[in-house]
Structure 1
Amino acid sequence: SEADKIAKLVPNDLNITLDQALEKEPELAILASDGTENEQRLLKFSRQLEDLNTHLGTHAAGVIIMNQDIREVMPVCTGKEDTLQSMYPMKYAEDQGAVKFDFLGLQNLSTIDNTIDLISKSRPDSVKLDITRIPMDDPLTFNLFCRADTIGVFQLESSGMKRLVSNMQPSAFEDIVAILALYRPGPLGSGMVEDYVQCKHKRKRVIFPHPLMADILKETYGVMVYQEQIIQSVQVLAGFSLGQADLLRRAIGKKTVEILAEQRLQFVEGCLKNTKFVEQCPRESNPENKANEIFDTINYFSGYGFNKSHSVAYGLISYQTGYLKAHYPVQLMAALFNGSVNNHDNIINYISECKAMGVKVLPPDVNLSSKIFTVEPTEFRISDITLAHFERDFSSRKLLGDTFHQDWLEPLRKSLKRLKNRDFKDETEFLKIIVKTTEAENELNQTFLLNSNSIFASWLRSEARVEVIRFGLYAIKNVGGKAVDAILKVRSEHGELKDFMEFMKKVNLNEVNRRMLETLVKCGAFDSIHDNRAQLFAVLDNALHLAQEFKRAEEPSQDSLFSLMDAGDAKATETLLEFPEVRNWSKRERLKQEKSALGFYVSGHPLDSYSSEMKLLATTTDKLKEGVHAEKNKISLVGIIVNNTVRLNQSNAKFAIATVEDTRGTLEFPVFATVYEKDGELLESDEPLLISGRVNYRDDEVGMFVDNIRRLSEIRETEARSMSIKINSDPLSQETISLLRSTLQKYSGEKPFTFLVQAPDATSVTIKPEERINFSSALIEELEELLPLQTLEFSYSSKNKLH
């Protein structure tokens, strides 16, 4: 459209005005003077309307405080939730004597509190964590920052921020503070960030504008990052008082020419009166020129200067969330889920992040789930975190009691290191292995290590565990709070639920209706009672009927057929629930039903089968939204269409507005008529697709113009070069091996495949059969059912790799 064409001619510069745009962009100026009547009118009216107030905005966190009723001194109105609101902007409100405060509410603070609560509940025998007393030089935390593993870390989650953190390789808390101050459009575009990084890593010499500024700019490697550095500099160089320095800061911020000229004069005069400034001036420049040069530098950098106290406050939250992810990753991720129950994209992203971290997210369970997401321990494993906490808790004497001797530390330390990353299902077996690998006296082995009640055993029970996240019942769609309370009440009164019909008889059916039961079956909440979801789904109506009949019979005032039977017959009839002989839902069907019940996939994802294609052929929705790809770049997405609206254009041709979901979120995009005509039918399927096109930015929103849509299964079948079947160290049964051989023979073709077998000693063996196969979707589905714990990987030629 004409408006869109004109809008794209405006340079993408921060705070640029239309007048400045006309001077900078000749094509825009031509439209304003010689364009069509509509183009000239649009630009004329836009310039007149620019900077006019269009609506009443409310500061998200601003509160003003006065020593009198504000209604007596300024106009007011009623804001949201009937709050009294000033109609003055901040500046005019302050001119009336009001003091403005920003009270910021951060979800991240609730996340930290929830994480600490989850730690105390899931690790009752661990040392209690005080987040205000964590070490600020923790190696695990800085390792996490240096590898940019910052999903869930406050302010450091975006791909751009992750790149900066990776380049910076922070080694001290001050680096985190600087990162938060530097990651803004101004500093990024000015070269300040690159200078900081290069100087930090000694790839570039640190240069100070004047020797007197060395102490002020030392922590930021000669780069003026903070507003406080500007205030300190003018004090040291020109003898400004704090009040004068703050006035200069404000004047520079407002860019008023007359005031700036006056401030420059005062600054230069102050510098020339300072004998240290004059004496230490470099020989190649005279003091007056140097003073003007420094003022220009201050004037330039102050536009990007950030309040250090603000950055430190935010940096502390960043560090705390980073520390929690480094030391308690499962608890932090569970807390992030709890804070994002109503944010669909965040949940999808966190599920994907958990998978990348090796953390399992388990579906809801009526026997095991709480209201919110919780953490459960499973088998035993010693990790880097376990070793770090051993040093923290025992070497620092936090847990040393009368029964634990200091000279036991070194043998135990060596033993734990030897057993690192090995899994043990049984606690007794785990303790016995530690005994065997610990080089110490028999007294230690017998009285300490094998004693399940010892301090060390209790500590291992908390700190040497593989932990998983259990889905909260409150997060299930269509199951309200009263229904959840009714389920938890049954569990608290009757203990573990072992029979579906018993549950139906005991739960309050006024609170738990059929629709809710259907949802609970679909998402797997009854799997611990009856794991065949297809059977449960088939008998829901009958179970509900029997439960209602049972409850009527229990009422004292009601007679029923049960009263005519003897006690044994009545008991049998009450619980008679026959399950039909039907196979459980396939993996694909289970995932589909989970998605309909929860809004997202939990136990797996349809795209899990296409991890190779996601890695090699496509980018992700979160990278696209974060601006990783430039305008008009060719990209591809691997995903599933979750919404599709078909419309007619002005030529009565069909086009669509579709939404694709991948493992990192969702993206809406148009499918224009020419593409819809050839590929539109694919938008109606629930199959994984490869959607290719060009990046498009509009009004700060990112999208894509689609050129091509293809089924991933067809791409794999025709274009994948080879397949690797990765077998983990757990041995396959003879029956599984036989089924595997016959399955592969059934789909013979022309493509090579290999087995990559992981040995118990962490080595691997590659087997290359001479047979060739066909990579059909039917084969892949059978292999995934046959080998649910193994991985299939596919390779492609470089010409296929389009990001």
Structure 2
Amino acid sequence: MKDFVHLHLHTEYSLLDGAINLDKLIKRAIELDYRSIAITDHGNLFGIIDFYDKCVKNGIKPIIGQEFYIVKDIEKDKNLSIKDDRNFHLLILAENDAGYKNLIKLSSEAYLKGFRYKPRIDYNLLKKHSKGLIGLSACRKGEIQNYILENKFKEALKTAEKYVEFFGKENFFLELMRVGMAEDQMIIENQLKIAEKLGIGYVATNDVYYLNRDDHEIHDVLLCLQTGTVLSDEKRLRFSSKEFYLKSKEEMNSLFKDIPESLENSLKISERCNLSIDTTGKNFKMPKISIPPDFENEKSYLEFLVNQGLEKKFKGNPPKEVVDRVKFEMDVIERMNYSGYFLIIYNLVKKARENNISVGPGRGSAAGSLVLYLLDVTKVNPLDYNLYFERFLNPDRVSMPDVDIDISDRDRDKLLNLLIEEYGSENVAQIAAFNNLKSRQVFTDVARVFGLPPSEVKNITKKLPADMSLEDGKKEIPNWKELTGGKEEYEKVLNLAIGLEKNKRHVSKHAAGIVITPGPITDFVPVWKQSSDDNGVVTQFEKNCIEKIGLVKIDVLGLTTLSVIEFTLDLLKEKNINLDLYSLPLDDKKTYELLRSGKTVGVFQLESAGMRDLLKRYKPTTFNDIINIIAFYRPGPLGPEQKESIIKRKNGKEEITYKHPKLEPILKETFGHPLFQEQVMQMANMLGGFTFAEADTLRKAMGKKDPTIMDRYMQKFVDGAKKEGLSEELAYEIFDIMAKFAGYGFNKSHATVYGLLSYFTGYLKSHYPNEYMCSVINAYISNIKDIVKYITEVKDMGIPILPPDINSSDFYVKVENDSLRLGMGIIKNVGENAVREIVNARKDGKFKDFMDFLLRVNTTTVNQKAIESLIKAGAFDSLKIGRDILFENLTQLLNIAQSKKKDEESGILNLFASSSDFNFEDDWKSKLVDQKRWDKETTLMYEREILGFYLSGHPIEKEREIYRSIVTASNEEIKEMSNDNLVTIMGIVTDFSKKKAKSGSYYANFKIFTLEGYLDCMIFSNKLEEYSKILVDDQKVVIEGRVSKSDKDIEVKVVVDKVYTLSRIKEMIDGIEISLSSESYKNGEFDELENLLKNFKGDRNLYFRVYKGEESLRIRSKKYKIKPSTQLFSKICDIFDIESVKYIFRR
């Protein structure tokens, strides 16, 4: 039997085309005794580092290649239509290091110069970058095979000659494939003729797309996902055979026993392909850094800057602990040769601030570095908060430090341009990120391909645990067959989804990652672009691979909160208030009062419903409390009992205890319970005798559940703890606590710097509420859901919201006296150009009336649609003509204005200049037709249509008593609930959209506009028919349903169970319930109630809810029967209080 190597193979990085997961590939290759294998994905090198690394670690020789799209001449093909655009395939392998570099160049140029529908190279590029490469003629879509199929042998021969010219006779091979296609033999016969004529080689390949023969179904599903089709679609893209799998050597020998040389050549090519990629992450390729000429090297310049920082921060008299820490950090930085990296970060932050880009106080573990604090990169002194340098940069591990930088979200592109100015456009790129097919999502995707009903699929999907693989998740569902109705299709869907799970689905730009190289980026890494007209160059490797090959990666994240702060400070400057947030004391009384009240909507990290509830219970009084709360709220190892214990201990309701007195200095700040990863490091250091570097290594091993390192360190910890006076039993117990906690504990460095932003935003909201909330709304002006949330908050704060106004508004919201004036930019159909035109026209004075407006603005820029929207939004209300009248007469008024403009241009009006009987103002007003007036609900409906929310009221505002009585959770609370939670909501139906699923059944998406804003809803076919007449836009409804969340909780919907009209809900009122406190009996409230009820006798019930401790009992009154009404409800609220009174409904 001849040995054989697969040279043509598509992995998961041939996105939604190759079905081979790399881990499974390596495992299968070992099973089949392949000692070498190639990766040749379509149009990219996305996966080569991941592939290379996994192969080397498993003793397999990796061969790096790509299947390219190629045309003869990119320039000539630019104007072809897509149907005429012929992109042939060509397989290229890197023979050596020089070939690898050329492969990178070609792959990059395909995107940068040749992208048209696909990334393409042409003959010129191939000729330029052919050194060190081996070319293979590819599949039946290869140029040579294509001409053979078209019976153009001469063209095929001529093309082969061209490729021989580019690669060289010894470096170009014809690919022979027997993959179950009818034309396979005919193609091979012609290929062998060409090979004989030109004296070139040929090689057997199998064009591998999936691992095992049975996996053809997985690949078929993948193609459906790629093309958006279903399996039942006969016209869909599909492979016509089941032979595109990783065949064994025996199978390939059987296929090509008549052409044994083709098998031998696969081995010869494999033996020729020898390249070495350093993926250790230890050989760093540092960008070239400019340092002032007075300094000998990067080290001396960094020392100078650090000493400068010591002088500035400590007035030239730093404490000994600061001096010692600086010496320690600088020694580590110098020993690890990272001075240049610290200077890059310093220079980046400095340049950002010099260019008015707002930079955050720090992010992540970098806040543990005193050197970065002295360089002004971070804004907290790590010694003040027990933050450790080793958590950021461990001297025992050789890995590039990782400084993440937050800047205002509107300035990220600006900062990228500054980096390009500094290092050159060829040396800077953003980093790729890959989305994987996740458990629930892939199950839903495969079910869609099978055309299964969405309602059924959703019901099954939400039962699958989001944090488990599908295989493990199914085991958690004991009634799987019952759940799927015993349908065999779901078993098949699950098995196919398991086969696809974790495969790559999509590539995009990483939200933060930027890479800087010492020379042109394509000397080190291939790049891509999202489209031919996109200026942003992105690496083809994701961030972990960038680190593995030693390139400098910086995470620069756009943070909206920094824009909010920046906007607020700018508004305060207009009032001559110059605020330096970093000079503020961290014990401001007003700020903590706000936090304890839980009124923190808009406050960084503290605005969710759950967080607001926690603030009210925790009652923060110090900055340390804010740090704790940020960590405390995150999911982690603390159970409900431990969390409740911390709250009680914080408020003096429970004694603070420790498992050993030596734990007190470590756990005192978190009331005896571990909360931070740094506390694990402290335990290892103070109890186990570890250095902080060793402690960080242990922390990391515990997080990864690495048994080898944990076992090695466990005995060291126990021995050290015994020396400190702990019993062996207690030492093991504490080690177990550390092990459980380390992977989930919060990074205190991150909590501290983010706590600072929470404090700043809380301070601004409590001291300058108008300016702050104005800035919050402007920062989210393009997101209507957020705008609604923040406008609702502004109203709750008692700040008046003024409508957009033609004479007062600009594009953005602004502070006007003690109110907020909405900007015209918030209005639908009114763009920036229209607002700019209005504001410019207003420079000559305010508009006196509507006609004055029409005459002074360019009505091409501010067109009729924009003016209609301005009217509906109330922007002309100050001109004292009704919205309805202006709207109905607009076309006529525009015509009058146009005529007057033309007359003025022609000079006709000059003839009447002295005529006393010509009065234009009276003339246009006399032509107004007083149409039927809009009622309140019509006015509100138009406001919502144009603004996205109700401004001058809310259609259900007068039903607030019913709303408060029947709604079971606020919008924010619903967003934090888990799947299947039952909720009742009330509001207005909007954006109702009925859709047909692939299965043929119907479903609908719509929104409910509650008193707090929008909630997304969904109703499936089994309920849709029943409620289709109720669920229409602008209908007032009450909905009972269940919470449904996507995998990452990004999308939250209420799936409808029942729908009631508001009129039906009123009929269902059974009575009124009053919650009684102990004081109710003493204050004479019952006497008042008895007198009141004499005037509201009826046949409905009165209930009393009586509390005893945390338990309560509802009692129906036998004495009183009432007639519920808004008036009665209001008067009862006057006697007791509004929170104690609600309606009770009969279901």
Aligned to 1:240: 690
Q: CA deviation at 1:517?
A: 1.7
Structure 1 residues 793, 610: closer, same or farther in 2, change over 3 A? Answer: farther
Matching residue within 967, 975, 978 for 1:626: 975
Aligned to 2:903: 553
For residues 276-355 of structure 1, the aligned pairs below 5 Å read 277-278=724-725, 281=726, 286=727, 288-355=728-795
Aligned to 2:394: none
Structure 1 residues 720, 363: closer, same or farther in 2, change over 3 A? Answer: farther
Structure 1 residues 63, 29: closer, same or farther in 2, change over 3 A? Answer: farther
Q: Contact between 2:812 and 2:824, CA under 8 Å: does it hold in 1?
A: yes
Structure 1 residues 231, 90: closer, same or farther in 2, change over 3 A? Answer: farther
Aligned to 2:880: 530
Q: Aligned equivalents of 2:1139 and 2:721: distance in 1? A: 68
After superposing the two structures, state which structure 1 stretch, 188-197 or 601-610, moved more. Answer: 188-197
Q: CA deviation at 1:667?
A: 2.8
Counterpart amino acid of 2:598?
A
Q: Contact between 1:9 and 1:28, CA under 8 Å: does it hold in 2?
A: no
Counterpart amino acid of 2:962?
E
Counterpart amino acid of 1:617?
I
Q: Does 1:683 align with 2:1031?
A: yes
Q: CA deviation at 1:297?
A: 1.5
Aligned to 2:513: 62
Matching residue within 592, 603, 612 for 2:952: 603
SS at match of 1:539: helix
Q: Contact between 1:721 and 1:795, CA under 8 Å: does it hold in 2?
A: no
Structure 1 residues 572, 89: closer, same or farther in 2, change over 3 A? Answer: closer
Structure 1 residues 667, 129: closer, same or farther in 2, change over 3 A? Answer: same
Task: Give CA deviations for 1:752-792 in whole Å, capped at 9, x if unaligned.
Answer: 9xxxxxxxxxxxxxxxxxxx99969xx99xx9xxxxxxxx9
Structure 1 residues 37, 517: closer, same or farther in 2, change over 3 A? Answer: closer
Aligned to 2:1144: 798
Q: Contact between 2:609 and 2:973, CA under 8 Å: does it hold in 1?
A: no
Q: CA deviation at 1:304?
A: 1.4
Aligned to 1:576: 924
Q: Aligned equivalents of 1:646 and 1:28: distance in 2? A: 30
Structure 1 residues 236, 583: closer, same or farther in 2, change over 3 A? Answer: same
Taking only the aligned residue pairs, the percentage that are identical comes to: 35
Aligned to 1:155: 605
Aligned to 1:110: 563
Aligned to 1:253: 703
For structure 1, the residue ranges without an aligned partner over 5 or more in a row are 378-466, 724-747, 753-771, 784-791
For residues 164-243 of structure 1, the aligned pairs below 5 Å read 164-187=614-637, 189=639, 191-243=641-693
Matching residue within 689, 692, 711 for 2:1040: 692
Matching residue within 963, 976, 985 for 1:637: 985
Structure 1 residues 525, 201: closer, same or farther in 2, change over 3 A? Answer: same
Q: CA deviation at 1:689?
A: 1.4
Q: Aligned equivalents of 2:1066 and 2:952: distance in 1? A: 24
SS at match of 2:878: coil
Q: Aligned equivalents of 1:91 and 1:670: distance in 2? A: 39
Structure 1 residues 538, 237: closer, same or farther in 2, change over 3 A? Answer: same
Q: CA deviation at 1:505?
A: 2.0
Task: Give CA deviations for 1:180-206 in whole Å, capped at 9, x if unaligned.
Answer: 112222245475433322321233332
Q: Contact between 2:594 and 2:600, CA under 8 Å: does it hold in 1?
A: yes
Aligned to 2:858: 508
Task: Give CA deviations for 1:383-412 in whole Å, capped at 9, x if unaligned.
Answer: xxxxxxxxxxxxxxxxxxxxxxxxxxxxxx
Counterpart amino acid of 1:109?
L
Q: Contact between 2:989 and 2:1007, CA under 8 Å: does it hold in 1?
A: yes
Counterpart amino acid of 1:712?
L
Q: CA deviation at 1:706?
A: 2.6
Q: Aligned equivalents of 2:481 and 2:1000: distance in 1? A: 36
Task: Give CA deviations for 1:667-703 in whole Å, capped at 9, x if unaligned.
Answer: 3333345544443212225232112234445644443
Q: Aligned equivalents of 1:570 and 1:706: distance in 2? A: 63
Structure 1 residues 29, 661: closer, same or farther in 2, change over 3 A? Answer: closer
TM-score where L is the length of structure 1: 0.71
Q: Does 1:490 align with 2:841?
A: yes
Q: CA deviation at 1:606?
A: 1.2
Q: Aligned equivalents of 2:789 and 2:610: distance in 1? A: 17
Counterpart amino acid of 1:257?
P
Aligned to 2:823: 472
For structure 2, the residue ranges without an aligned partner over 5 or more in a row are 1-451, 1074-1095, 1101-1121, 1131-1137
SS at match of 1:152: coil
Q: Contact between 2:811 and 2:825, CA under 8 Å: does it hold in 1?
A: yes
Structure 1 residues 236, 588: closer, same or farther in 2, change over 3 A? Answer: same
Structure 1 residues 372, 151: closer, same or farther in 2, change over 3 A? Answer: same
After superposing the two structures, state which structure 1 stretch, 682-691 or 3-12, moved more. Answer: 3-12
Task: Give CA deviations for 1:69-127 in whole Å, capped at 9, x if unaligned.
Answer: 55445555446845444444444433332343322211111111112223344xx36x4
Q: Contact between 1:637 and 1:691, CA under 8 Å: does it hold in 2?
A: yes
| Structure with bigger gyration radius | 2
Q: CA deviation at 1:330?
A: 2.0
Aligned to 2:317: none
Q: Contact between 2:700 and 2:742, CA under 8 Å: does it hold in 1?
A: no
SS at match of 1:103: strand
For residues 406-421 of structure 1, the aligned pairs below 5 Å read none
Q: Contact between 1:716 and 1:775, CA under 8 Å: does it hold in 2?
A: no
Q: Contact between 1:612 and 1:793, CA under 8 Å: does it hold in 2?
A: no
Counterpart amino acid of 1:585?
W
SS at match of 1:185: coil
Q: CA deviation at 1:296?
A: 1.4
For residues 255-270 of structure 1, the aligned pairs below 5 Å read 255-270=705-720
Q: Contact between 2:1007 and 2:1014, CA under 8 Å: does it hold in 1?
A: yes
Q: Contact between 1:238 and 1:267, CA under 8 Å: does it hold in 2?
A: yes
Aligned to 2:382: none
Task: Give CA deviations for 1:614-673 in whole Å, capped at 9, x if unaligned.
Answer: 211114562354234x55444321111112233568998865433222132323333345
Structure 1 residues 232, 71: closer, same or farther in 2, change over 3 A? Answer: farther
Q: CA deviation at 1:46?
A: 4.3
Q: Does 1:98 align with 2:547?
A: no
Structure 1 residues 507, 50: closer, same or farther in 2, change over 3 A? Answer: closer
Q: Contact between 1:717 and 1:775, CA under 8 Å: does it hold in 2?
A: no
Q: Aligned equivalents of 2:605 and 2:956: distance in 1? A: 29
Q: Aligned equivalents of 1:141 and 1:573: distance in 2? A: 54
Structure 1 residues 751, 375: closer, same or farther in 2, change over 3 A? Answer: farther
Q: CA deviation at 1:301?
A: 1.0
Task: Give CA deviations for 1:503-537 in whole Å, capped at 9, x if unaligned.
Answer: 22222223222222222122111111124222222
Q: CA deviation at 1:142?
A: 0.9
Q: CA deviation at 1:347?
A: 1.5
Q: Aligned equivalents of 2:482 and 2:873: distance in 1? A: 61
Q: Contact between 1:562 and 1:570, CA under 8 Å: does it hold in 2?
A: no
Counterpart amino acid of 1:327?
H
Q: CA deviation at 1:478?
A: 1.1
Q: Contact between 1:553 and 1:562, CA under 8 Å: does it hold in 2?
A: no
SS at match of 2:554: strand
Aligned to 1:661: 1009
Q: CA deviation at 1:263?
A: 2.2
